[in-house]
Amino acid sequence: MPITCSSCHKIIPLQDAKFCPYCGKALTISTSAEKQIVVYLVSLLVPPFGFWYVWKYLRQGDRKSKIIGIVAAVLTIIAIATSIWLWEKSLTVLNQKINSSLGSFSVY
């Protein structure tokens, strides 16, 4: 999977390049506290985008980025599991409502 420069959008031939060979932009991604909060919030609130961060951070060589990637992965999985659980729960409630209204009809 080739990486592209976020500044000049050229494909960077080296997988582990720290700087873009064309424009010199730093390619390492931020591990600042502010950035971590954004990553974790995105993972929790919009899980599909969380996977994008997970992929991006896990590809980084350093330990700190990998930890952020793993935490984001856990949060994304929790968020997805919660939304599936809520969805199933609301479907069950809906089913019961339909069944009970159908039941009252059949009694008639």
Task: Tell whether residue 23 is a contact of Zn ion (CB under 5 A).
Answer: yes
Task: Tell whether residue 22 is a contact of Zn ion (CB under 5 A).
Answer: yes
DSSP 55-77: HHHHTSSSHHHHHHHHHHHHHHH
List beta partners, residue 63.
Answer: none
Smallest separation, CB 81 to Zn ion (Å): 39
Tokens coding 78: 């929790």
How many other C-beta atoms are found inside a 10 Å radius of the C-beta of residue 31? 16
Smallest separation, CB 20 to Zn ion (Å): 3
Task: Tell whether residue 5 is a contact of Zn ion (CB under 5 A).
Answer: yes
The binding site for Zn ion (CB under 5 A) comprises 5, 7-8, 20, 22-23, 25
